[in-house]
Structure 1
Amino acid sequence: MENNVTELAASITVIPTIFPRSGYGILAFLMFLNAFFSIFNNLLVIIVTIKYSQLRNPMNIFILNLSFSDLMMSLCGTTIVIATNYYGYFYLGHKFCVFQGFAVNYFGIVSLWTLTILAYERYSVVCQPLGTLKLSEKRGYQLLAFIWIFCLIWAMGPLFGWSSYGPEGVQTSCSIGWEDRSWSNYSFLIFYFLTCFIIPVLIIGFSYGSILRSVHMVGSICEEFRALVMVLAMVMAFLICWLPYTIFAMIIVIDPTVNIPPLAATLPTYFSKTSPVYNPIIYLFLNKQFRECTVAFLTCDQISLRKPEEDSDYSAAPTECRTAVKINQVAPA
């Protein structure tokens, strides 16, 4: 009898944990806050943009696309790690792990390429106002199609054996298998970094470098200058969130023998998941027209009943909100 009990105990699989139980609980709570604000903020941008038709100009469709990709990254990524951290391991199985890794990867690079196109369009407007192709609705949708198809190709690579998706850090979330020590994985990561991080960052750097060299024109393009400040703020927020994670992955590619503790690998992983929170906040504070429409929406248009002298910051009625924008222009504060 005693021998049977010993054999039964030995056959039980113990799920290894890297954090103490309280550590996983803290991660679950932080991810819950992150998911709540990310989903609320991006849904607000999407709903307000759909409700007020004048917000759907060719430039703002990229803001809408950015909010949608950030929302999907939160729904398919952050919400999952709330539950997995609550249990202390990725209990949903390998297929769900692959799904989460694919979704976070896909929507993440869609967000970066959307910001890249926004930065280049600001460059086109400021530095080549006469020689560049004017952004039309048709061209805007063509660029969006390129972003989604191009990023899908790279996100599907690990699904077909070029690298892989698997658990990372403290094993409660999944992503590209950065720690897989194989030449197939290294080759994917090198080309992935080149096309999905380095090239977008170089385009953004070129765009804003050219704009800064044309800073003497600011007096005649003050509205465009405020628009590009908004886009730059979004780009910087995204890069700040994702740069530590990118550096961590590049270290593994450059030096496959390096041993990174799970906790050190986890911090940049979860920090990158906060990026969907910030873009709607930046858009709200730096886009006056969107801010007025948002206030009108949240107050059920009651703001239109106020007299202008009661609150100069929010005196615009919803009717004014619907007519203030200039076509083909992000209307910042």
Structure 2
Amino acid sequence: METAIPTTEISDNFTTKPTIFPRSGYSILAFLMFLNAAFSIFNNLLVILVTMKYPQLRNPINIFILNLSFSDLLMTLCGTTIVISTNYHGYFYLGEKFCIFQGFAVNYFGIVSLWSLTILAFERYNVVCEPVGALKLSTQRGYQGLTFIWLFCLIWAIAPLLGWSSYGPEGVQTSCSIGWEERSWSNYSYLITYFLTCFVIPVAIIGFSYGSILCSLHKLNRKIEEQGGRTNKEEEFRVVVMVLFMVIAFLVCWLPYTIFALIVVINPTLYIPPLAATLPTYFAKTSPVYNPIIYIFLNKQFRHCAVLCLTCGHIDLSVPEEDGPSMIVPTEIQAATKNNQVTPA
């Protein structure tokens, strides 16, 4: 096996077939990405179809869930499907311009998904912890949130095209992303700012939002117990588990990016093996598979609509009591949010 070829050399010659990784390794990656793409396309298309078909799912907060599936679908079509082919060939044979396009698309749609999760968490916090503010959530406000997400994320995706960092082959040279391995102050400043705006701030908002939801639910249950009422500990446990899944999934997707960026900035001379350099974007490419499962399919109301859609109406799992909000909305504000919100179940 030959010595790993530096990224800068491959960026200048996309017709060179590198031998960074064994041929069988590329085949395994191609197969894994094929499975990833198949599940991602099916899951997200189903979410979009069901949401558009059933009016009860189209409400202000679900705009962000629909946007999440849309950006995840685009990320799969513009990223994962390309990686299947390039891994099959063993190198990025499509050329430099296509490499830049793929890097831009994956970066852009990935950040859109990330900030969709962030705004979704904050709106759920408003529903549970700020019931008065939740009443103000309207379709117009939802579209304003979407406009912010797409424009804000576009800034970070376009920046490398304008010379602040760059896009190019990464790791085992079958996919393209931000030029993590580029050793320049321009790249370092981009990575640091990217780290703050696309990881630290979202994690802080998500942590605060879901942490507040758990505290609110716990305080409500304790208040009910003090008044001699009965609480559902199993339900509270399910909420805790759901929140943990949300946070862990978010970290699995984006923490490798963060660690990689910090390593490059802190120790520019450190050699990073090609496979290790590939892992961050591959972890991100798995998010379109599990995002619909965690954020959407575990929602009772959506799950029932999905079963109706897939079985052409022959199987109906819904029951009357589930027309209302889901379990993470405290009883005190269910009446206020019944017709407005759909939260995880």
Please, what TM-score do these two structures have when normalized by structure 2?
Answer: 0.82
Q: CA deviation at 1:280?
A: 1.2
Of 123-132 and 156-165, deviating more is: 123-132
Contact 1:73 1:107 in 2 (8 A): yes
Q: CA deviation at 1:226?
A: 7.3
In structure 2, the partner of 1:278 is 290
User: Against the structure 1 CA distance between its residues 328 and 22, is the aligned structure 2 distance closer, same or farther, given a 3 Å change threshold?
Assistant: same
Distance (Å, rounded) in 2 between the aligned partners of 1:114 and 1:225: 26
Note the aligned Cα RMSD (angstroms).
2.6
In structure 1, the partner of 2:257 is 245
In structure 2, the partner of 1:99 is 101
Find the residue that maps to 1:302 and give its secondary structure.
coil
Distance (Å, rounded) in 1 between the aligned partners of 2:213 and 2:122: 10
2:312 to 292, 300, 321: 300
User: Against the structure 1 CA distance between its residues 14 and 64, is the aligned structure 2 distance closer, same or farther, given a 3 Å change threshold?
Assistant: closer
Distance (Å, rounded) in 1 between the aligned partners of 2:64 and 2:242: 13
Distance (Å, rounded) in 2 between the aligned partners of 1:210 and 1:39: 33
User: Against the structure 1 CA distance between its residues 151 and 135, is the aligned structure 2 distance closer, same or farther, given a 3 Å change threshold?
Assistant: same
Distance (Å, rounded) in 1 between the aligned partners of 2:240 and 2:147: 23
Q: Deviations 1:206-234 (Å, cap 9, x if unpaired)? A: 22333344331257899999789756633
In structure 2, the partner of 1:216 is 219
Distance (Å, rounded) in 2 between the aligned partners of 1:188 and 1:59: 32
In structure 2, the partner of 1:291 is 303
AA aligned opposite 1:278: Y
1:167 to 166, 169, 177: 169
Distance (Å, rounded) in 1 between the aligned partners of 2:140 and 2:308: 30
Q: Deviations 1:274-327 (Å, cap 9, x if unpaired)? A: 1110011124542111111000000011125xxxxxxxxx255xxx79966732
Contact 2:124 2:209 in 1 (8 A): yes
Distance (Å, rounded) in 1 between the aligned partners of 2:279 and 2:189: 25
Find the residue that maps to 2:176 and give its secondary structure.
strand
Alignment of 1:34-113 (within 5 A): 34-113=36-115
Of 291-300 and 250-259, deviating more is: 250-259
User: Against the structure 1 CA distance between its residues 210 and 91, is the aligned structure 2 distance closer, same or farther, given a 3 Å change threshold?
Assistant: same
Of 213-222 and 23-32, deviating more is: 213-222
User: Against the structure 1 CA distance between its residues 231 and 107, is the aligned structure 2 distance closer, same or farther, given a 3 Å change threshold?
Assistant: farther
Find the residue that maps to 2:315 and give its secondary structure.
helix
AA aligned opposite 2:342: V
2:18 to 16, 19, 34: 16
Contact 1:54 1:323 in 2 (8 A): no
1:199 to 184, 201, 221: 201
Q: CA deviation at 1:194?
A: 1.0
Of 171-180 and 128-137, deviating more is: 128-137
Distance (Å, rounded) in 2 between the aligned partners of 1:20 and 1:185: 30
Tell me how many residue pairs correspond in the alignment: 309
Larger Rg: 1
Find the residue that maps to 2:80 and give its secondary structure.
helix
Distance (Å, rounded) in 2 between the aligned partners of 1:328 and 1:231: 21
Find the residue that maps to 1:166 and give its secondary structure.
strand
User: Against the structure 1 CA distance between its residues 164 and 224, is the aligned structure 2 distance closer, same or farther, given a 3 Å change threshold?
Assistant: farther
Find the residue that maps to 2:93 and give its secondary structure.
coil
In structure 2, the partner of 1:310 is none
Distance (Å, rounded) in 2 between the aligned partners of 1:186 and 1:112: 22
Distance (Å, rounded) in 1 between the aligned partners of 2:309 and 2:186: 51
User: Against the structure 1 CA distance between its residues 39 and 14, is the aligned structure 2 distance closer, same or farther, given a 3 Å change threshold?
Assistant: closer
User: Against the structure 1 CA distance between its residues 231 and 68, is the aligned structure 2 distance closer, same or farther, given a 3 Å change threshold?
Assistant: farther
Structure 2 residues not aligned, in runs of 5+: 1-14, 225-230, 326-337
Please, what TM-score do these two structures have when normalized by structure 1?
Answer: 0.85
Q: CA deviation at 1:251?
A: 0.7
